[in-house]
Structure 1
């Protein structure tokens, strides 16, 4: 045997129960073909051998729910996240600065503001934005993706107050009943249709920017939670952008794409066949391999926990009469689930409130009863509030929840304020799912929060908010369990456990090299760990320490 590459003198966590630790591995092409102890592969020929000097190696991280193209776009927008602005005054100043260099009439788009983190703890208004940008249309995208704020110029272009608000959306008004610039949920369609769809070239550029960041964080695979457009966006040929980025070698992490259910449609079919619920989305010859392929279809059930629009059984804390709402009638939600399930899709439904989670499970259960299917792996994206009885149902039905521990430290304080202290035990469960025998993936929902997997592992283990408050400590995982979530757990959520998730002979050579053994440090230090290198398919796509 002649290896293309041998990595030796390493401290390898394989996440493979058959051999938990190793010291060297051999690679041919893009596959791992041998896993051994230190020095044990020296007897074989190798094109190249790299001494890793005892560095810690783990399987490449896999973010099971992110928005890659959208994240890449934010890198060129006005940064308004909690580290950048702390008050509406600072937010408005950032918009003023961008306006000074933007041609008159050009759009100004801000990304990532969180009203919970502003000193005023409210959304900005159109009037505040008008003071610094009366001639430029301004669109501020909330970090959750469930709100947008406009200035008056943008509202005029979007004809806010003149045309009907889409179902599942709200145009907020001031005390005098006039629109104040805030759009909730599906109401964002009114403005986002003015800035979408993006060009294939722009989206391809965004994917390249995102790839660079992901590789520097140890991400080798991710699952794109909604190509084709979500929450008011429309990207009819987004898949073409992914293919173009891949051809140009700018898409350098593996991507499993969830097609937005809005892109699916009934197709003509033979009388003997089930009615197919299918899509186009600009697919063309050459699509579908280890780098880029379709996964689930994505459906939206409800809104946001931090924004108090998720569908809940009880009112949000201190907000009598507000228990959120569904994005569509529940009957329609269940119809979409049934149609997608019947046509062979894995179904991934966004459900955050406990009422939404319960309703989605009702839809899955009804679909499975009518059209039984083994190993469907239907998913609930987020599962933000899950009652104990529904944890049991998730396990019984074989559903995979995809919660985001990354929310704990970044937006956890806002979520705790929204639900109050009595319901914290149901909020973003992690251990409850594992204890019930349920697959638990690791994910971020980036760009909602910083998606670095090491920060996600930190939050899975530590369960503390940005203010230092305990979030849901009963749901904390061990470090090993958290690593498993971001590797094997995420691979299993996309039917990829036979090719990804562990350092095992026959699997893809996707690895991350860290400066510290994650399993041997204090939990508080997980987030400070550094990524030295990231390998995808046997090649170091990121090599910050010049290991190669």
Structure 2
């Protein structure tokens, strides 16, 4: 008699579970997704809780709506949720709480913005900010501590360059750090000094730690606030998932806490930064993901070199505009090999920042050896940025099954200085999206926020047009390297998901996958190319829940 009672109890649980499940049908949409690698259109989608049940092609008969929440999409375009394959989430969150120097027009403008911020935040012991870019200024020169000293003689100021690979300090900050004319930069860094040998306040790459060591790090609560603010902001832009490029153990713990609280607005695929505190022990625990798939760690992030704008990118030959200077490797070859080998042997995907052609060649060489030894070709290791490549190295990506994780807006931001830095020959292997695609390389798109805006439509626009927001240059910068609209959308959806080993979970709208999608008024596939960057998201849904809405679309039944 006990056995039937047991079966009956199970049946009741199943019935109860089915009653609790909620099915939603969104109809009357101009939908696009990828099916079997082809772009297809659809008119409606249904999902139960966070899983897609069915995607209805145009003209399909929709099911009865009894017991179903039905939403009229009002003809809006529906796309799979967009994925940024390379961003810095906590850094972005903190940038929302600090001096915003993005698009500052001059050194004076940057100083004035800092003064305004300081007036609004008088309790700050340090003034911190980010976003300046001397390449955008008429004098094209690094700023100087002196301009900050006039406004801040007694309060330390530290302002990171837009790419995060250089910082600008005032004299108070340098005094607290013990910086003098005798100070020497660590390996992989540089202290810019004037003709008299005095520090100007500019610190490049590893030398930045000389200043940052004196800054009290954010508290766990400040990090949590920054992280939550960042995820809400990213959702409003149409991002449903981000690969967080360089997190530490404390960040993993914070993400786990937010996930347990149900406070993950978007999905995060974290890359453990190497080297960081206890990184070996973290890797020995193996890849991790939460049960609801909102947070995962299955990869590592290593930095090989610096950035092109600060001349920190490691080049094989001298910079065209700086004789005798080839940039910087942030780690020696032996250390890089150790990090790569350890991570691959632990079963982690390895994602290495490489911008200059020397750094890219070196990492491809090290990958080739390590992949063969560890037999991890299937882990789809990545090069982050892959910005300046020797033409002969381009085909190596596909042969090694290495993904190019690239940021299209870097090209449109760098176009005013890249040829000057690289010259007319090397530029042919830079920002070479078409050459990589034609060699069967997967490109995963991102933005590198807060270096660039996290707005994915800026990246889509740059990928398709290779122009800035003023439609310059006419026809596009090295226009032969453009992506098609379909390729660009792939790079922000299914190919970005593939780059995170999540293509069976997200990246396209198909039965069995997670209900992550966005709605927008414009049709990305037919609207004028020049206006793609102006696209506005009306709604963002993650795991079947609406996490952002600019305009509420009411249910009709």
Same fold (TM over 0.5): yes
Structure 1 position 506 matched with structure 2 position 512: yes
- CA change 1:4–1:287 in 2 (3 A) is closer
Partner deviation per Cα, 1:397-438 (whole Å, 9 max, x = no partner)? 110111110112333323333223332221112122221111
SS at match of 2:416: helix
* 1:322-361 equivalence runs, <5 A: 322-361=325-364
Conserved in 2, the CA contact under 8 Å of 1:427 and 1:472?
A: no
Note if contact 1:140-1:148 (Cα within 8 Å) is conserved in structure 2.
yes
Partner of 1:65: 86
1:195 corresponds in structure 2 to 215
Secondary structure of 1:207's counterpart equals helix
The equivalent position to 1:522 in structure 2, one of 528, 540, 550, is 528
* Conserved? CA contact 1:403–1:429, under 8 Å: no
Q: Which residue is equivalent to 2:546?
A: 540
**Residue 388 (structure 1) shift:** 2.0
Q: Deviations over 1:144-192 (max 9, x none)?
A: 0000010011011112236653321111111101111111001111122
Q: Which residue of 175, 182, 185 corresponds with 1:156?
A: 175
- Higher mean C-alpha deviation, range 288-297 or range 487-496: 288-297
Q: How many angstroms apart in 2 are the aligned matches of 1:105 and 1:537?
A: 38
Q: State whether residues 410 and 466 of structure 1, in contact with CA within 8 Å, keep that contact through their aligned partners in structure 2.
A: no
Note the C-alpha offset of 1:105: 7.6
Task: Report if the CA contact (8 A) 1:3-1:44 is conserved.
Answer: no
Query: What residue in structure 2 maps to residue 271 of structure 1?
Result: none
Match of 2:456 among 439, 453, 468: 453
Native 8 Å contact 1:479 1:523 kept in 2: no
CA distance in 2 between counterparts of 1:126 and 1:19 reads 53
CA distance in 2, matches of 1:289, 1:388: 42
Aligned-residue offset at 1:389: 1.4
Contact 1:402 1:443 (8 Å CA) reproduced: yes
Are the aligned partners of 1:263 and 1:280 in contact in 2 as well (CA < 8 Å)? no
Alignment partner, residue 155 of structure 2: 136
In structure 2, runs of 5+ residues without a counterpart are: 1-17
Q: CA RMSD in A?
A: 2.3
Shift of 1:487: 0.1
Determine if the alignment matches structure 1 residue 261 to structure 2 residue 274: yes
Equivalent runs, 1:100-119 vs 2, <5 Å: 100-103=119-122, 106-119=125-138
Q: Which residue of 2 aligns with 1:405?
A: 408
In the alignment, is residue 227 of structure 1 matched against residue 227 of structure 2? Answer: no
Deviation at 1:119, TM superposition (A): 2.6
The answer to whether structure 1 residue 88 and structure 2 residue 107 are counterparts is: yes
Q: Where does structure 1 lack aligned partners over 5 or more consecutive residues?
A: 229-235, 269-275
The alignment's TM-score, normalised by the length of structure 2, stands at 0.90
* Cα distance between partner residues in 2 of 1:19 and 1:365: 33
The equivalences for 1:431-446 within 5 A come to 431-446=434-449
| 2:490 corresponding residue in structure 1 | 484
Q: 1:114 to 1:392 in 2, by over 3 A?
A: same
Q: Deviations over 1:484-532 (max 9, x none)?
A: 1100010000000001111100000000111111111221121122211
Shift of 1:289: 4.3
Secondary structure in 2 aligned to 1:535? strand
| Greater mean alpha carbon deviation, residues 94-103 or residues 166-175 | 94-103
Offset at residue 106 of structure 1 (A): 1.6
Give the superposition deviation at 1:264.
6.7
1:43/1:105 Cα in 2 relative to 1: closer, same or farther (>3 Å)?
Answer: closer
| In 2: Cα distance, 1:267 partner to 1:408 partner | 35
* 13-22 or 62-71, larger mean C-alpha shift: 13-22
Deviation at 1:216, TM superposition (A): 1.2
Distance 1:259 1:359 in 2: 21
User: Which of 472, 476, 490 pairs up with 2:478?
Assistant: 472
**Which sits farther off after the overlay, 407-416 or 516-525?**
407-416
- Distance apart, 1:330 and its partner CA: 1.8
**How many angstroms apart in 2 are the aligned matches of 1:266 and 1:179?**
34
1:465 Cα deviation (Å)? Answer: 4.2
What residue is the counterpart of 2:10 in the other structure?
none
**Count of paired positions:** 529
Mean alpha-carbon deviation: is it higher for 166-175 or for 503-512? 166-175
Q: Distance in 2 between matches of 1:105 and 1:513?
A: 40
TM-score scaled to structure 1, two decimals?
Answer: 0.91
1:40 and 2:61 are equivalent in the alignment:
yes
**What's the CA shift for 1:115?**
0.8
In the alignment, is the contact (CA less than 8 A) between 2:270 and 2:298 conserved in 1? yes
Deviations 1:439-481 (CA, angstroms, capped at 9, x unpaired): 1111000000112111100000001246723423111011111
- Distance in 2 between residues matched to 1:302 and 1:90, nearest whole Å: 30
Instruction: Name the SS of the counterpart of 2:310 in structure 1.
Output: coil
How far 1:19 moved relative to its partner? 7.4
Bigger radius of gyration among the two: 2
* Residue number among 20, 26, 38 corresponding to 1:7 in the alignment: 26
Q: Is the 8 A contact 2:385 2:407 kept in 1?
A: yes
Report the CA distance between 1:30 and its aligned residue.
Answer: 0.2
Please state whether the residue corresponding to 2:445 is helix, strand or coil: coil
- Choose from 180, 187, 191 the match for 1:167: 187
Are the equivalent residues in 2 in contact too, given 1:143–1:447 (CA < 8 A)?
Answer: yes
Q: Which sits farther off after the overlay, 385-394 or 238-247?
A: 238-247
Change (3 A) 1:96 1:36: closer
Q: Residues of 1 paired with 2:168 and 2:540: CA distance?
A: 38
